[in-house]
C-alpha cells in the first residue's frame, strides 16, 4: 500500500513507515513493569522486561496462563501504562504521551487483534474495517476502498455486507485482522488470535500471518499454541512476568509450511 498525504499528524509514526529508526528498533521495552493492586494483594504482572523488536520481525510471546503475556502486549501497544520502564514505538517514547496523543498514535501505528475478535456487532464486516480509517481521518470513499481491498486480501471480498453474527469465528478473526491493517500500522499485536478457532480456521489465520510476515509487517503474537509460535522468527517465553527465554527460530516460515503441509 502506498503512503498518502493529507490531514494526518506528521509528528507521529505510522502509516507505511518502515519502523526502524536511527534510535533503534520499531518496538522497544526497557525495564518494563506493571503491578496490579497494592500492598499484600499486589500482583507483579510484568517484571522488568527488556525487549527489542526489529522491523519486520515476527515475535511470539509464550508462557503459562497468568504469566503476564496480555499485560505485556497491552503495555507495548499503549493500551495500558507501565508502573516502571519505557515503551518506544517507531523511535518515539509512548508511555509518557497524554491520553489524546496516545489514542491517536494507537490508531495509526498499532493494529490490535484480540482472541475474541472485538468486532462491533451492529456494523457490517466492511464497516468494522472502515471505522479505524475514518477515525484516522480518511474520507469515507478512501476508507471504503481500503476496507474492500483488505477484505479481498483476507479472502472475504464477498462478506463485506454481512454482520459479524453472520460470520464464522475464523471469518470474524480475518475481519479483525483486516481492521488491524487498515491504517498500515507499524506493528500488529495479536493476543491469542487463534485461541477461539478450530483447526481449519487456525490454518486460515496462520496463512494470513505468514503473508503479513512476507510483506515485512512487524508482528507480535501472544500464544499458547505451538503452531502459532512456529510462524515466528523468534520466541520469547515469560515466567512470572519476567522474560525467561529468548529463542530465535530458524526458518520459522518453513516450519509453518511444514506444519500446514505447504510447499515453500
Ligand X SMILES: Nc1ncnc2c1ncn2[C@@H]1O[C@H](COP(=O)(O)OP(=O)(O)OP(=O)(O)O)[C@@H](O)[C@H]1O
**Residue closer to ligand X, measured from CB, 69 or 213:** 69
Determine, following the binding rule CB under 5 A, whether residue 223 of this chain makes contact with Mg ion: no
Strand ranges for the chain from DSSP E: 27-36, 43-53, 58-62, 84-89, 92-93, 110-113, 187-191, 218-222, 234-239, 242-248
**Residue closer to ligand X, measured from CB, 92 or 237:** 237
Residue 243 binding partner per list Mg ion, ligand X, none, with a CB distance cut-off of 5 to 8 Å that depends on partner kind: none
Residue 97 binding partner per list ligand X, Mg ion, none, with a CB distance cut-off of 5 to 8 Å that depends on partner kind: none
Determine, following the binding rule CB under 5 A, whether residue 115 of this chain makes contact with Mg ion: no
Considering only 19-27, 48-56, 65-73, 131-139, which stretch makes contact with Mg ion by CB under 5 A? 65-73
Determine, following the binding rule CB under 5 A, whether residue 33 of this chain makes contact with Mg ion: no
**Residue closer to Mg ion, measured from CB, 187 or 222:** 222
Considering only 11-19, 40-48, 62-70, 161-169, which stretch makes contact with Mg ion by CB under 5 A? 62-70
* Closest distance to ligand X from the beta carbon of 22 (Å): 32
CA distances (Å), 114 to each of 46, 74, 162, in order? 19, 11, 20
Q: Between β-strands 27-36 and 84-89, what pairing exists: parallel, antiparallel or unpaired? A: antiparallel
Residues that bind ligand X (CB under 6 A): 36-37, 43, 45, 63, 65-71
Annotate 211-250 with b (16+ C-beta within 10 A) or e (fewer). Answer: ebbeeebbbbbbbebebbbbbbbbbbbbeebbbeeeeebe
Cα(114)–Cα(191) distance, integer angstroms:
5
Q: Which of 33, 57, 62, 70 contacts Mg ion by CB under 5 A?
A: 70
* Closest distance to ligand X from the beta carbon of 246 (Å): 17
**Residue closer to Mg ion, measured from CB, 70 or 194:** 70
**Residue closer to Mg ion, measured from CB, 155 or 169:** 169
**Residue closer to Mg ion, measured from CB, 177 or 222:** 222
Determine, following the binding rule CB under 5 A, whether residue 62 of this chain makes contact with Mg ion: no
Residues forming contacts to Mg ion in the complex (CB under 5 A) are 70
Amino acid at each position: 500500500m502506498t503512503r498518502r498525504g493529507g490531514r494526518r499528524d506528521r509528528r507521529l509514526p505510522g502509516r507505511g513507515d518502515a519502523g526502524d529508526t536511527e534510535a533503534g528498533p520499531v518496538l522497544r521495552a526497557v525495564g518494563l513493569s506493571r503491578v496490579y493492586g497494592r500492598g499484600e494483594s499486589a500482583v507483579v504482572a510484568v517484571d522488568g522486561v527488556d525487549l527489542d523488536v526489529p522491523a519486520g520481525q515476527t515475535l511470539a510471546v509464550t508462557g503459562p496462563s497468568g504469566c503476564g503475556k496480555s499485560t505485556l502486549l497491552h503495555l507495548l501497544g499503549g493500551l495500558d501504562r507501565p508502573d516502571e520502564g519505557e515503551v518506544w514505538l517507531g523511535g518515539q517514547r509512548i508511555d509518557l504521551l497524554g491520553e489524546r496523543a496516545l489514542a491517536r498514535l494507537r490508531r495509526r501505528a498499532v493494529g490490535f487483534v484480540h482472541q475474541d475478535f472485538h468486532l462491533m456487532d451492529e456494523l457490517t464486516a466492511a464497516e468494522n474495517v472502515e471505522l479505524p480509517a475514518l477515525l484516522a481521518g480518511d474520507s469515507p470513499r478512501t476508507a471504503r476502498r481500503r476496507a474492500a481491498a483488505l477484505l479481498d486480501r483476507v479472502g472475504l471480498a464477498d462478506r463485506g455486507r454481512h454482520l459479524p453474527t453472520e460470520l464464522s469465528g475464523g471469518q470474524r478473526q480475518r475481519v479483525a485482522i483486516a481492521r488491524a491493517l487498515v491504517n498500515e500500522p507499524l506493528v500488529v499485536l495479536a493476543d491469542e488470535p487463534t485461541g477461539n478457532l478450530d483447526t481449519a480456521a487456525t490454518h486460515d489465520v496462520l496463512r494470513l500471518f505468514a503473508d503479513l510476515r512476507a510483506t515485512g509487517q512487524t508482528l507480535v503474537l501472544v500464544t499458547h499454541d505451538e503452531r502459532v509460535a512456529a510462524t515466528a522468527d523468534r520466541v520469547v517465553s515469560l515466567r512470572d512476568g519476567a522474560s525467561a527465554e529468548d529463542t530465535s527460530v530458524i526458518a520459522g516460515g518453513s516450519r509453518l509450511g511444514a506444519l500446514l503441509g505447504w510447499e515453500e
